[in-house]
Amino acid sequence: MKRIAQTLFLIAGLATSSWSASVYVFSCGNVDNDNETVAAFQASGHDVILGQGVNTFLNLNVISAFDVVYLPANHNWGFYWDLAQETAMVNYVNSGGGLITAEWILWMTAFSSFSTLRSVFPAVETTSYDGRGIASYTRDQSDPIINAGLPNNFSMFTTSIAGVHTNIVAVKAGAKSFYRDGTDIMVSGWDYGNGRVVNYSTVNGANQLQDANFRTLLGNTVTWVSSNPPTGPGIQGTVVLEDMVGTYPGTASVRYIDVATNVGAGRTTALLSPAGILTADGPDVPGNYRAVIKASRWLSRVVTVTTSASGTANFGTVTLLNGDCNGDNEVGPGDFSILASAFGSFEGDPEYQSRADLNGDGEVGPVDFSILARNFGEFGDI
Protein backbone atom coordinates (compact mmCIF):
# COMPACT_ATOMS: atom_id res chain seq x y z
CA MET A 1 0.00 0.00 0.00
CA LYS A 2 1.26 3.48 -0.77
CA ARG A 3 2.43 5.91 1.84
CA ILE A 4 -0.98 7.56 1.92
CA ALA A 5 -0.27 10.69 3.93
CA GLN A 6 3.07 11.34 2.26
CA THR A 7 1.67 10.73 -1.21
CA LEU A 8 -1.20 13.17 -0.78
CA PHE A 9 1.27 15.79 0.32
CA LEU A 10 3.81 15.26 -2.42
CA ILE A 11 1.23 15.24 -5.20
CA ALA A 12 0.23 18.73 -4.12
CA GLY A 13 3.76 19.92 -4.86
CA LEU A 14 4.84 20.57 -1.29
CA ALA A 15 2.46 23.50 -0.91
CA THR A 16 2.02 24.15 2.78
CA SER A 17 -1.71 24.73 2.43
CA SER A 18 -2.20 21.21 1.03
CA TRP A 19 -1.59 19.52 4.37
CA SER A 20 -4.08 20.13 7.13
CA ALA A 21 -2.85 18.77 10.45
CA SER A 22 -4.74 18.98 13.74
CA VAL A 23 -2.75 21.10 16.20
CA TYR A 24 -3.21 21.35 19.97
CA VAL A 25 -1.78 24.64 21.22
CA PHE A 26 -1.06 24.86 24.94
CA SER A 27 -1.93 28.28 26.30
CA CYS A 28 1.11 30.40 27.14
CA GLY A 29 -0.84 32.44 29.68
CA ASN A 30 -1.45 35.53 27.54
CA VAL A 31 -4.61 35.92 25.45
CA ASP A 32 -3.04 38.06 22.72
CA ASN A 33 -0.02 35.78 22.31
CA ASP A 34 -2.30 32.73 22.25
CA ASN A 35 -4.55 34.24 19.57
CA GLU A 36 -1.57 35.28 17.45
CA THR A 37 -0.15 31.76 17.69
CA VAL A 38 -3.44 30.15 16.66
CA ALA A 39 -3.80 32.58 13.73
CA ALA A 40 -0.26 31.83 12.56
CA PHE A 41 -0.91 28.09 12.35
CA GLN A 42 -4.33 28.62 10.76
CA ALA A 43 -2.74 30.83 8.09
CA SER A 44 -1.09 27.68 6.71
CA GLY A 45 -4.38 25.80 6.65
CA HIS A 46 -3.95 23.73 9.79
CA ASP A 47 -6.81 22.94 12.19
CA VAL A 48 -6.00 24.46 15.56
CA ILE A 49 -7.43 24.09 19.07
CA LEU A 50 -6.29 26.35 21.92
CA GLY A 51 -6.18 24.13 24.97
CA GLN A 52 -5.24 24.12 28.62
CA GLY A 53 -2.42 26.13 30.13
CA VAL A 54 1.02 24.60 29.78
CA ASN A 55 1.49 25.23 33.51
CA THR A 56 -1.47 22.99 34.38
CA PHE A 57 -1.75 20.12 31.85
CA LEU A 58 -4.38 18.27 33.87
CA ASN A 59 -6.06 16.40 31.01
CA LEU A 60 -3.22 14.08 30.03
CA ASN A 61 -5.22 12.20 27.40
CA VAL A 62 -6.43 15.10 25.27
CA ILE A 63 -3.22 15.41 23.23
CA SER A 64 -3.57 11.89 21.81
CA ALA A 65 -6.36 13.07 19.49
CA PHE A 66 -4.08 15.56 17.70
CA ASP A 67 -1.36 15.26 15.06
CA VAL A 68 0.79 18.02 16.56
CA VAL A 69 1.28 19.67 19.96
CA TYR A 70 2.73 23.19 20.29
CA LEU A 71 4.36 23.81 23.66
CA PRO A 72 5.20 27.41 24.66
CA ALA A 73 5.55 28.90 28.14
CA ASN A 74 5.95 32.59 27.40
CA HIS A 75 3.85 34.04 30.21
CA ASN A 76 3.32 31.06 32.54
CA TRP A 77 6.84 29.69 32.82
CA GLY A 78 7.13 29.32 36.60
CA PHE A 79 6.12 25.66 36.85
CA TYR A 80 7.32 22.07 36.91
CA TRP A 81 5.61 19.07 35.36
CA ASP A 82 5.38 15.88 37.39
CA LEU A 83 6.51 12.53 36.06
CA ALA A 84 3.03 11.59 34.80
CA GLN A 85 2.78 14.78 32.76
CA GLU A 86 6.23 14.42 31.22
CA THR A 87 5.69 10.72 30.51
CA ALA A 88 2.38 11.48 28.78
CA MET A 89 4.18 13.82 26.38
CA VAL A 90 7.03 11.36 25.77
CA ASN A 91 4.51 8.62 25.04
CA TYR A 92 2.67 10.95 22.69
CA VAL A 93 5.83 11.48 20.64
CA ASN A 94 6.76 7.80 20.76
CA SER A 95 3.32 6.91 19.40
CA GLY A 96 3.83 9.10 16.33
CA GLY A 97 2.85 12.57 17.55
CA GLY A 98 4.60 15.75 16.45
CA LEU A 99 5.91 18.14 19.12
CA ILE A 100 7.03 21.76 18.62
CA THR A 101 8.48 23.79 21.49
CA ALA A 102 9.36 27.46 21.93
CA GLU A 103 12.25 29.13 23.78
CA TRP A 104 11.02 29.15 27.36
CA ILE A 105 10.66 25.36 27.35
CA LEU A 106 14.28 24.94 26.23
CA TRP A 107 15.60 27.45 28.74
CA MET A 108 13.65 25.85 31.59
CA THR A 109 15.05 22.45 30.60
CA ALA A 110 18.56 23.75 31.23
CA PHE A 111 17.49 24.45 34.83
CA SER A 112 16.45 20.81 35.42
CA SER A 113 12.81 21.19 34.40
CA PHE A 114 11.51 18.42 32.13
CA SER A 115 14.12 15.92 33.29
CA THR A 116 12.21 13.15 31.50
CA LEU A 117 10.81 15.08 28.54
CA ARG A 118 14.24 16.54 27.68
CA SER A 119 15.17 13.17 26.14
CA VAL A 120 12.94 13.90 23.14
CA PHE A 121 14.43 17.35 22.45
CA PRO A 122 16.89 17.58 19.53
CA ALA A 123 18.65 20.70 20.86
CA VAL A 124 21.38 20.63 23.51
CA GLU A 125 19.96 23.01 26.10
CA THR A 126 21.82 25.91 27.71
CA THR A 127 21.11 28.63 30.27
CA SER A 128 22.63 31.28 28.00
CA TYR A 129 20.07 33.63 26.45
CA ASP A 130 19.77 37.11 24.95
CA GLY A 131 17.24 39.78 23.99
CA ARG A 132 18.17 40.29 20.35
CA GLY A 133 15.89 42.76 18.58
CA ILE A 134 16.07 41.00 15.22
CA ALA A 135 15.98 37.27 14.58
CA SER A 136 17.67 36.12 11.39
CA TYR A 137 17.20 32.73 9.75
CA THR A 138 19.76 31.32 7.34
CA ARG A 139 19.10 27.90 5.85
CA ASP A 140 21.46 25.30 7.29
CA GLN A 141 20.56 21.64 6.63
CA SER A 142 18.01 21.66 3.82
CA ASP A 143 14.66 19.92 3.97
CA PRO A 144 12.02 20.22 1.20
CA ILE A 145 9.14 20.48 3.69
CA ILE A 146 10.74 22.86 6.19
CA ASN A 147 12.12 25.12 3.42
CA ALA A 148 9.04 25.15 1.17
CA GLY A 149 8.15 28.67 0.02
CA LEU A 150 10.94 30.35 1.96
CA PRO A 151 14.03 32.31 0.84
CA ASN A 152 17.45 31.09 1.92
CA ASN A 153 17.70 34.02 4.35
CA PHE A 154 15.05 36.07 6.12
CA SER A 155 14.70 38.09 9.31
CA MET A 156 12.15 39.94 11.42
CA PHE A 157 11.85 42.07 14.53
CA THR A 158 11.29 40.17 17.75
CA THR A 159 9.19 40.64 20.87
CA SER A 160 10.93 40.28 24.22
CA ILE A 161 9.15 38.21 26.86
CA ALA A 162 11.77 38.51 29.62
CA GLY A 163 14.22 37.60 26.85
CA VAL A 164 13.99 36.50 23.23
CA HIS A 165 16.41 33.73 22.39
CA THR A 166 18.26 30.84 24.03
CA ASN A 167 21.74 30.50 22.56
CA ILE A 168 21.61 26.94 21.25
CA VAL A 169 24.89 26.03 19.54
CA ALA A 170 24.66 22.23 19.32
CA VAL A 171 22.18 19.47 18.59
CA LYS A 172 22.17 15.85 19.67
CA ALA A 173 23.52 13.09 17.45
CA GLY A 174 21.03 12.38 14.67
CA ALA A 175 19.31 15.77 14.93
CA LYS A 176 19.30 18.49 12.27
CA SER A 177 19.92 22.20 12.40
CA PHE A 178 17.40 23.64 9.92
CA TYR A 179 18.17 27.36 10.39
CA ARG A 180 20.97 29.35 11.97
CA ASP A 181 21.69 32.94 12.96
CA GLY A 182 25.47 33.01 12.81
CA THR A 183 26.69 30.32 15.18
CA ASP A 184 23.31 30.04 16.92
CA ILE A 185 20.89 27.28 15.92
CA MET A 186 17.44 28.80 15.51
CA VAL A 187 15.38 25.73 14.55
CA SER A 188 16.37 22.10 15.18
CA GLY A 189 14.53 18.84 14.70
CA TRP A 190 14.72 15.07 14.58
CA ASP A 191 12.80 11.81 14.43
CA TYR A 192 12.14 10.38 17.89
CA GLY A 193 10.41 7.04 18.36
CA ASN A 194 7.56 7.07 15.85
CA GLY A 195 7.20 10.84 16.04
CA ARG A 196 9.09 14.04 15.33
CA VAL A 197 10.18 16.97 17.50
CA VAL A 198 11.25 20.53 16.62
CA ASN A 199 12.78 23.03 19.05
CA TYR A 200 12.55 26.76 18.33
CA SER A 201 15.24 28.81 20.09
CA THR A 202 13.08 31.97 20.14
CA VAL A 203 9.99 32.86 22.18
CA ASN A 204 7.92 33.27 18.99
CA GLY A 205 6.26 36.48 20.15
CA ALA A 206 3.97 38.93 18.36
CA ASN A 207 6.46 40.42 15.87
CA GLN A 208 7.62 37.01 14.71
CA LEU A 209 4.08 35.62 14.49
CA GLN A 210 3.01 38.55 12.31
CA ASP A 211 5.88 38.06 9.85
CA ALA A 212 4.85 36.27 6.64
CA ASN A 213 8.04 34.21 6.33
CA PHE A 214 7.95 33.15 9.96
CA ARG A 215 4.31 32.10 9.62
CA THR A 216 5.28 29.99 6.62
CA LEU A 217 8.09 28.44 8.64
CA LEU A 218 5.72 27.57 11.48
CA GLY A 219 3.22 26.06 9.05
CA ASN A 220 5.99 24.06 7.38
CA THR A 221 7.14 22.85 10.79
CA VAL A 222 3.67 21.51 11.59
CA THR A 223 3.67 19.69 8.27
CA TRP A 224 7.14 18.24 8.89
CA VAL A 225 6.45 16.91 12.39
CA SER A 226 3.15 15.37 11.28
CA SER A 227 4.42 13.72 8.08
CA ASN A 228 6.32 10.69 9.34
CA PRO A 229 3.65 7.98 9.05
CA PRO A 230 4.16 4.22 9.33
CA THR A 231 4.44 2.37 6.03
CA GLY A 232 3.78 -1.26 6.96
CA PRO A 233 1.08 -3.71 5.82
CA GLY A 234 -2.26 -1.94 5.63
CA ILE A 235 -5.66 -2.09 7.25
CA GLN A 236 -9.15 -1.64 5.83
CA GLY A 237 -12.71 -1.54 7.13
CA THR A 238 -15.94 0.41 7.24
CA VAL A 239 -16.35 3.53 9.37
CA VAL A 240 -19.88 4.70 10.10
CA LEU A 241 -20.05 8.39 11.01
CA GLU A 242 -23.07 8.67 13.27
CA ASP A 243 -25.88 10.96 12.02
CA MET A 244 -24.02 12.03 8.87
CA VAL A 245 -26.32 12.81 5.94
CA GLY A 246 -23.82 14.94 4.02
CA THR A 247 -20.64 13.90 2.23
CA TYR A 248 -18.12 11.97 4.28
CA PRO A 249 -14.78 13.72 4.81
CA GLY A 250 -12.03 12.29 2.64
CA THR A 251 -9.68 11.41 5.49
CA ALA A 252 -9.55 10.17 9.07
CA SER A 253 -6.68 9.74 11.50
CA VAL A 254 -5.43 6.36 12.73
CA ARG A 255 -3.12 5.86 15.70
CA TYR A 256 -1.61 2.44 16.47
CA ILE A 257 -0.80 0.90 19.87
CA ASP A 258 1.03 -2.41 20.23
CA VAL A 259 -1.27 -4.82 22.10
CA ALA A 260 1.58 -6.66 23.84
CA THR A 261 3.61 -3.68 25.03
CA ASN A 262 0.96 -0.92 25.09
CA VAL A 263 3.50 1.28 23.28
CA GLY A 264 2.52 3.53 20.41
CA ALA A 265 3.46 2.31 16.95
CA GLY A 266 2.80 5.40 14.85
CA ARG A 267 -0.07 7.39 13.40
CA THR A 268 -1.19 8.14 9.87
CA THR A 269 -3.81 9.89 7.80
CA ALA A 270 -6.18 7.32 6.28
CA LEU A 271 -8.31 7.64 3.18
CA LEU A 272 -12.05 7.58 3.87
CA SER A 273 -14.29 7.00 0.85
CA PRO A 274 -17.80 8.46 0.42
CA ALA A 275 -19.11 5.00 1.37
CA GLY A 276 -17.09 5.01 4.60
CA ILE A 277 -14.39 2.58 3.49
CA LEU A 278 -11.19 3.38 5.38
CA THR A 279 -7.78 2.35 4.06
CA ALA A 280 -4.52 3.09 5.82
CA ASP A 281 -0.92 1.97 6.05
CA GLY A 282 -0.19 -0.07 9.16
CA PRO A 283 2.74 -0.19 11.60
CA ASP A 284 6.12 -0.97 10.10
CA VAL A 285 6.34 -4.31 11.93
CA PRO A 286 3.38 -6.69 11.36
CA GLY A 287 1.58 -7.81 14.51
CA ASN A 288 -1.35 -7.26 16.86
CA TYR A 289 -2.39 -3.63 17.34
CA ARG A 290 -5.15 -1.43 18.61
CA ALA A 291 -6.05 1.11 15.95
CA VAL A 292 -7.57 4.35 17.30
CA ILE A 293 -9.72 5.82 14.52
CA LYS A 294 -10.93 9.43 14.61
CA ALA A 295 -12.67 11.71 12.11
CA SER A 296 -13.02 15.49 12.51
CA ARG A 297 -16.12 16.03 14.72
CA TRP A 298 -16.61 12.41 15.76
CA LEU A 299 -15.13 10.73 18.85
CA SER A 300 -12.37 8.19 18.41
CA ARG A 301 -13.01 4.47 18.66
CA VAL A 302 -10.60 1.55 18.99
CA VAL A 303 -10.54 -1.55 16.81
CA THR A 304 -8.10 -4.46 17.12
CA VAL A 305 -6.21 -5.54 14.01
CA THR A 306 -3.59 -8.13 13.20
CA THR A 307 -1.45 -6.85 10.36
CA SER A 308 0.38 -9.26 8.11
CA ALA A 309 2.83 -9.05 5.25
CA SER A 310 0.54 -11.42 3.34
CA GLY A 311 -2.24 -8.86 2.85
CA THR A 312 -4.50 -6.11 4.16
CA ALA A 313 -6.10 -6.65 7.58
CA ASN A 314 -9.86 -6.03 7.73
CA PHE A 315 -11.23 -4.65 11.01
CA GLY A 316 -14.92 -4.94 10.06
CA THR A 317 -17.22 -2.02 10.91
CA VAL A 318 -16.92 0.64 13.60
CA THR A 319 -19.32 3.50 14.43
CA LEU A 320 -17.99 6.85 15.64
CA LEU A 321 -20.12 8.99 17.97
CA ASN A 322 -20.93 12.54 16.86
CA GLY A 323 -20.64 15.91 18.62
CA ASP A 324 -16.92 16.71 19.00
CA CYS A 325 -17.05 20.20 17.45
CA ASN A 326 -13.69 21.37 18.78
CA GLY A 327 -11.77 18.14 18.15
CA ASP A 328 -10.67 17.47 21.74
CA ASN A 329 -12.14 13.95 21.75
CA GLU A 330 -14.96 14.65 24.19
CA VAL A 331 -18.44 16.14 23.88
CA GLY A 332 -18.69 18.92 26.42
CA PRO A 333 -19.19 22.63 27.11
CA GLY A 334 -16.65 23.72 24.49
CA ASP A 335 -18.63 21.97 21.78
CA PHE A 336 -21.88 23.50 23.02
CA SER A 337 -20.34 26.99 22.80
CA ILE A 338 -19.30 26.43 19.19
CA LEU A 339 -22.71 25.10 18.21
CA ALA A 340 -24.49 27.94 20.01
CA SER A 341 -22.42 30.58 18.21
CA ALA A 342 -23.41 29.13 14.83
CA PHE A 343 -26.99 28.15 15.67
CA GLY A 344 -29.51 29.17 13.03
CA SER A 345 -26.91 29.64 10.30
CA PHE A 346 -26.77 28.05 6.86
CA GLU A 347 -23.81 27.13 4.71
CA GLY A 348 -22.60 30.36 3.12
CA ASP A 349 -23.63 32.56 6.07
CA PRO A 350 -20.82 34.38 7.92
CA GLU A 351 -21.77 32.65 11.18
CA TYR A 352 -21.85 29.15 9.68
CA GLN A 353 -19.21 26.70 10.93
CA SER A 354 -18.98 23.27 9.33
CA ARG A 355 -17.73 21.78 12.60
CA ALA A 356 -21.04 22.79 14.23
CA ASP A 357 -23.10 21.25 11.40
CA LEU A 358 -22.99 17.84 13.01
CA ASN A 359 -25.16 16.00 10.50
CA GLY A 360 -23.69 17.77 7.49
CA ASP A 361 -26.99 19.03 6.05
CA GLY A 362 -25.76 22.59 5.49
CA GLU A 363 -27.62 24.03 8.48
CA VAL A 364 -26.77 24.42 12.16
CA GLY A 365 -30.10 23.87 13.86
CA PRO A 366 -32.23 21.78 16.22
CA VAL A 367 -31.05 18.45 14.79
CA ASP A 368 -27.44 19.32 15.55
CA PHE A 369 -28.38 20.44 19.05
CA SER A 370 -30.17 17.12 19.64
CA ILE A 371 -27.09 15.19 18.53
CA LEU A 372 -24.86 17.12 20.89
CA ALA A 373 -27.30 16.78 23.78
CA ARG A 374 -27.57 13.02 23.25
CA ASN A 375 -23.81 12.48 23.39
CA PHE A 376 -22.98 15.20 25.93
CA GLY A 377 -20.42 13.90 28.41
CA GLU A 378 -19.11 11.16 26.10
CA PHE A 379 -15.37 10.65 25.58
CA GLY A 380 -13.51 9.02 22.74
CA ASP A 381 -11.32 5.97 23.19
CA ILE A 382 -7.64 6.71 23.77
CATH number at residue 361: 1.10.1330.10
Residue 33 and residue 61 in one domain: yes
Residue 133 and residue 208 in one domain: yes
pLDDT at 138: 98
Neighbouring C-beta atoms of residue 29, cutoff 10 Å: 18
Give dist(CA 346, CA 361) in Å, integer.
9
Asked whether residue 9 carries a pLDDT value surpassing 60, the answer given is no
- Using DSSP's 3-state secondary structure scheme, residue 82 falls into coil
**Host domain of residue 296:** 232-320
pLDDT tens-digit profile of 170-214?
Answer: 999 999 999 999 999 999 999 998 899 999 999 999 999 999 999
Residue 221 and residue 331 in one domain: no
Residue type, 58: L
Residue type, 48: V
pLDDT tens-digit profile of 301-327?
Answer: 999 999 999 999 999 999 999 999 988
From 201, 225, 249, the end of a domain falls on: 225
pLDDT tens-digit profile of 73-97?
Answer: 999 998 999 999 999 999 999 888 9
The enclosing domain of 313 has a CATH number of 2.60.40.1120
Total-model pTM: 0.80
Residue 17 and residue 95 in one domain: yes
Residue 39 and residue 134 in one domain: yes
Residue 187 and residue 197 in one domain: yes
pLDDT at 95: 85
Q: Are 252 and 236 in contact (CB under 8 A)?
A: no
Q: Are 169 and 184 in contact (CB under 8 A)?
A: yes
Residue type, 328: D
pLDDT at 45: 87
Residue 268 and residue 188 in one domain: no
Mean confidence (pLDDT) of the chain: 91
Instruction: Please give the tally of structural domains in the chain.
Output: 3
